[in-house]
Structure 1
Amino acid sequence: MSPSATSSGGVRDDAAADRLAAAPLPETEVSAVVSGIGPRLRSLRTRHGLSLQQLSDRSDVSPAAIHKVEQGTMVPTITTLLKLAATFQVPVAHFIGEVEAPDSPVVYTPAKQRRTRTEGDGDVVVGSISAESGPFDLAASVTEIGAGARSAEDNRHPAGESLVHVQSGTLELTVGRQVFRLTAGDSLHFRSEESHSWRNPSGRTAKVVWVSLPERRA
């Protein structure tokens, strides 16, 4: 179930609220649930190619708090979990172990079920085309970038790879000190941790496939 807005402008997850009102779990089960939150959060963040600061900017949760939750040194409040769930467009249950990886390493997502989100001033629409859960590391999206839209000047993501393929329109990508002007059919493959930025210099929307693959930790 997707989070829904409350009258105060926050985000509410009815299933999570019901669980909070239920009988308390045994201490061993509580420990198991809490210990699983950090790895699930880090997996979501890296699959979306976000740094701690970028996730903080989107969720209004401090980078230090996100880091502590991922490392298991801080138990997040329900408010923090709701903010993070809303940012990734997943139910709070995703963090507490009630969303299991599918038995089969195959996830089919019909077009009408694809999750989308807007960024910037609403001139960037990101539509996820990769699975939201399962035994996967790769994250991919079809992104529509409005005329004149641009990213921050210095984007840095966790170590890994990024692949950008322009389906239509024009996208200018700067990686390090190199500037690349991509048009329909062009692609660019680069290390995600390299400083990079992008902008749409044209007067029409650019449609781009963006793929991110974080490095696995040993």
Structure 2
Amino acid sequence: MDQDTGKRLREVRTTMGLSQRQLAKASGVANATISQIESGNLNPTVSMLKKVLDGIPMSLSDFFSDNFEFTEQVFFKASELVEIGKDDVSYRQVGNHLVNKTIQMLSECYQPGATTGKHPITHDGEECGIILSGQLEVTVGDQKKVLTVGDAYYFKSTQPHQFKNTGREPCTVISACSPPGF
């Protein structure tokens, strides 16, 4: 690897429509490190470059290929959904990265008693969902309702909102958020 690695990384990153900060966040590599690689001031190890490329995502072989072309993945196996949740709330996202995307679609699962937290969430955009199993208490602003199988919600995400599984079984939801909120 040499100075061409930095130029190549910049080319790939800009082709993907990613800023250095976005790539840093997606890969877990410091923004300053990505900047140093791109400027030729840091020659990354293979493992460091792989970690950076995982944020795109892109394999090392594709990165070094002479005929680089990024193709958007269209179909996803269940095992390819990206887990972005934690603890008792699972958020399985369709798509590896959502840079320059306008929709975020999730398969959500709330274990009994699981909640999105003590404090309401707010962010730009809109979100909606349909309950597939179990029940989910949805609070939006000063409105609160327990939704069950087949029920749905749709609201502007700038309103404070919370989700809680008040039932005795896991609750599964298919949801969408525009623009992507995570």
1: CA distance, partners of 2:90 / 2:156: 23
Tell me which residue corresponds to 2:96.
132
Tell me which residue corresponds to 1:156.
122
Mark the CA change 1:114 to 1:29 in structure 2 (over 3 Å): closer, same or farther.
closer
Q: Does 1:194 find its partner at 2:159?
A: yes
**Which secondary structure does the structure 2 equivalent of 1:107 belong to?**
coil
Q: Does 1:25 find its partner at 2:35?
A: no
Tell me which residue corresponds to 2:77.
110
1:97-116: CA deviation from partner (whole Å, max 9, x where unpaired): 9596526xx70112233333
Q: Which runs of 5+ in 2 are unaligned?
A: 35-46
Mark the CA change 1:133 to 1:151 in structure 2 (over 3 Å): closer, same or farther.
closer
Q: Which runs of 5+ in 1 are unaligned?
A: 1-21, 46-58, 66-74
Mark the CA change 1:93 to 1:205 in structure 2 (over 3 Å): closer, same or farther.
closer
Mark the CA change 1:183 to 1:154 in structure 2 (over 3 Å): closer, same or farther.
same
Task: Supply the AA of the counterpart residue of 1:170.
Answer: Q
Q: Percent identity?
A: 23
Count residues with an aligned counterpart. 152
Tell me which residue corresponds to 1:92.
55
TM-score (normalizing by structure 2): 0.65
Tell me which residue corresponds to 1:55.
none
Tell me which residue corresponds to 1:173.
138
Mark the CA change 1:107 to 1:39 in structure 2 (over 3 Å): closer, same or farther.
farther
1:143-196: CA deviation from partner (whole Å, max 9, x where unpaired): 110000111222112x21101210011101111111121110000001122211
TM-score (normalizing by structure 1): 0.55
User: Which entry has the higher C-alpha Rg, 1 or 2?
Assistant: 2
2: CA distance, partners of 1:39 / 1:198: 33
2: CA distance, partners of 1:189 / 1:112: 28
**2:91 touches 2:106 (CA, 8 Å); kept in 1?**
yes
2: CA distance, partners of 1:163 / 1:23: 47
Deviation at 1:132, TM superposition (A): 2.4
**1:144 touches 1:208 (CA, 8 Å); kept in 2?**
yes
Deviation at 1:199, TM superposition (A): 0.7
Deviation at 1:27, TM superposition (A): 7.5
**1:101 touches 1:133 (CA, 8 Å); kept in 2?**
no
The alignment yields a C-alpha RMSD, in angstroms, of 3.8
Q: Which residue of 19, 33, 36 maps to 1:77?
A: 33
2: CA distance, partners of 1:170 / 1:148: 11
Deviation at 1:131, TM superposition (A): 2.6
